[in-house]
Amino acid sequence: MCGIVGYIGPRAAAPLLVEGLRNLEYRGYDSAGVALLDGGTLSVRKRVGRLSNLEDALATEPASGRLGIGHTRWATHGEPSEANSHPHLDSRNRIAVVHNGIIENYAELREELKARGHVFRSETDTEVIPRLIEEELRAAPGDFAEALRRAIGRLRGAFALGVITADAPEALFAVREGSPLIVGLGEGETFIASDVPAVLRHVRRAIYLRDGEMAEITPDRVRVRRLDGTEVRPDTQNVDLNPEAAERAGFETFMLKEIHEQPRVIRQLLKTYVGPDDRPRFESLGLSPDYFQILRRVMIVSCGTAYHAGIYGRLLFENLTGLAAEADLGSEFRYRGPRIEKDTLVIAVSQSGETADTLASVRLARRKKCKILSICNVRGSSLARESDAVLFTDAGPEIGVASTKAYTAQLTSFALLAIHVGLLREELDPARAAELIAGLRAVPDAIHYVLDRKEAIRAVADKHHSGPSSMYLGRKFNFPTALEGALKNKEISYQHAEGYAAGELKHGPIALINEYLPVVCVCTRTRDEVYEKTLSNLKEVEARHGRIIAVANDGDTTVAGLAEDTLYVPEVPEELSPIVNVVTLQLLAYYAAQARGTDIDKPRNLAKSVTVE
């Protein structure tokens, strides 16, 4: 999705803006631009395509100024083009605006402005904003912040804005209404950004603007007001991300680094959420033990990879806690007319905490008086703030667009949470709980085992990557693993991939099987009641000459005898096997993508954080 940065301070702004935009590249974009103010002179540079194109433009035609805003755009209204890229200007070229999100009533505003003589230069929803400000300023000249505030009052939708103007050349303006934006405080300089990594190198403290707030930033002051005009005390927090953590640490891509970070992330989660008595501890969640007794149902909402974690969560809650559980997609949940009441706990799962459909689901659940527990990776995110309780996955910044460590952290969080609730409700035998905790402690080493065998995974990927399509199968706990393996593959290698519940094979997808189709099947053993059934599914594929790639436990000669290639994983309890098995599929997709020569960290058309519905 789009990215915003802004700078005001003693240094030349252009390189800092470009650096900030580069740090936001992972969010996905198709064009970029900056606007700089040097006294009363406003300069704008925009380019379609990679940021290096914008850098070339700035090298050929430098833009000076110690105040500026920048933007990476991911097209929603209007194709990727220079005219549609941000910043957008008013008709006098004195106000520049960058915008994330969507202005829902832009069409009527555009008509109104056209009737007043405005000639639009782009097809975007954004361009109405500088022109509305211009109109407000014309109606009551002088106070720019006031004109901005009034103009915003006319907008409907979700947005974050960065604004500069030649009419107030000593100030940077920021507005947040439904889309994330922070004000980063450095030494004698101030930044704005849609995401902390943009400015991580330069700031140690940040103001996380709340919805309905605007900031007026001058070299010596940050003034925050609500959009109704009332002054508020800014909520300043330490930025605890370590800049090195956002670097690749020697790995060829962020995704590969993040895949390798998984054992560490899981160990950390266990350290945080398992007590000295070897039982999960969640006092910090703030949901009382009594609450879990009156609870009747759990409803999990999420999108993308986090949705697959939700399916896993549903299985665990049903198996370990005796509660009815459901998992749904954020984008579907909101429109299905969910019958939820206050005896339902809504669990929202999100890496970024900013996914529009997940947030909308949470707001709906809140209106229905449900409590909200979120499993989230970003402190200070909208989701974290809007939840009654948050289980932070603390996986560190995830830069690769395809989610990996956030996913296994979500699975681990679900495992801990379900064990906790199962014990509280006396539905889970404490001896079984202890086995599961011991199993969780073995997971990081099991993942290391998989990582150590990445060359074998690469060899299999090299052999099978070139076809047009692939199928992924799994059952029960590993049904979401199959879905996630297929999603990883299509996201980064662009090979079409279908994830299926293995039992569904004969209800349709079996028609696809021939001697060319790679069929990746998760068939790990343990005490798994579906192991034998999955073996039968594998035989169905074998009988039709499908090319089976099996994920199996070490030493499983039965599976190996059926498969063309077998990728081995260590045995862990059935319930926890998805946390290990998926790492094999992440690497399989990774090496397939590498063989197909794609841009792994920034796959085409994808955005890391989808802040529009």
Residues that bind ligand G6P (CB under 6 A): 303-306, 350-352, 355, 358, 401-403, 606-610
Q: Mind giving me the DSSP string for 479-505?
A: HHHHHHHHHHHHHHH--EEEEEEGGGG
What are φ and ψ of residue 465, in 5° steps?
Answer: -75, -20
Q: Return the number of the residue (403 or 524) whose C-beta is nearest ligand G6P.
A: 403
CB 361 to ligand G6P: min, Å: 11
Q: Return the number of the residue (160 or 535) whose C-beta is nearest ligand G6P.
A: 160
CB 495 to ligand G6P: min, Å: 17
Structure tokens at 586: 């992440």
Q: Return the number of the residue (23 or 524) whose C-beta is nearest ligand G6P.
A: 23
In whole angstroms, give the CA distance from residue 594 to residue 612: 30
Q: Return the number of the residue (321 or 351) whose C-beta is nearest ligand G6P.
A: 351
CB 28 to ligand G6P: min, Å: 8
CB 320 within 8 A of CB 298: no
CB 417 to ligand G6P: min, Å: 17
CB 610 to ligand G6P: min, Å: 5
Torsion of CA 543, 545, 551, 556, to 10 degrees: 50
Q: Return the number of the residue (303 or 486) whose C-beta is nearest ligand G6P.
A: 303
Strand partners, 486: none
Strand partners, 498: 471
CB 603 to ligand G6P: min, Å: 8
Question: Tokens 């802040």 sit at which residue?
Answer: 611
Name the residue among 518, 519, 525 with its Cα closest to residue 569. Answer: 525
CB 393 to ligand G6P: min, Å: 10
Identity (one letter) of the amino acid at 199?
A: V
Q: Return the number of the residue (262 or 358) whose C-beta is nearest ligand G6P.
A: 358
Q: Return the number of the residue (6 or 304) whose C-beta is nearest ligand G6P.
A: 304
In sequence order, the 6+-apart residues with CB closer than 8 A to the CB of 409 are: 262, 265, 266, 269, 377, 393, 394, 395
CB 266 within 8 A of CB 409: yes
CA distances from 284 to 82, 120, 254, 392, 466 (A): 49, 52, 31, 11, 49
CB 403 to ligand G6P: min, Å: 4
In sequence order, the 6+-apart residues with CB closer than 8 A to the CB of 589 are: 402, 461, 485, 488, 489, 491, 492, 493
Q: Return the number of the residue (194 or 566) whose C-beta is nearest ligand G6P.
A: 194
Go through the chain and tell me how many residues it has.
Answer: 613
Which residue, judged by CB position, is nearest to ligand G6P in the bound state?
304
Q: Mind giving me the DSSP string for 95-126?
A: EEEEEEEEETTHHHHHHHHHHTT---SSS-ST
Describe the strand order of the beta sheet including 297-302 as a list of residue ranges.
324-329, 297-302, 344-350, 371-376, 389-392
Q: Return the number of the residue (358 or 584) whose C-beta is nearest ligand G6P.
A: 358
Q: Mind giving me the DSSP string for 25-41?
A: GGG--SEEEEEEEETTE
Q: Return the number of the residue (306 or 580) whose C-beta is nearest ligand G6P.
A: 306
CB 355 to ligand G6P: min, Å: 3
Give per-residue burial for 293-330: e unless 16+ CB within 10 Å, then b. Answer: eebebbbbbbbbbbbbbbbbbbbbbebbbebebbbbbb
CB 491 to ligand G6P: min, Å: 7
3-state secondary structure 398-463: CCCCCCCHHHHHHHHHHHHHHHHHHHHCCCCCHHHHHHHHHHHHHHHHHHHHHHHCHHHHHHHHHH
Helices (H), 69-203: 106-115, 128-139, 144-152
Q: Return the number of the residue (180 or 573) whose C-beta is nearest ligand G6P.
A: 180
CB 511 within 8 A of CB 536: no
CB atoms within 10 A of CB 79: 11
Catalytic residues: 2, 608
CB 349 to ligand G6P: min, Å: 7
In whole angstroms, give the CA distance from residue 98 to residue 433: 51
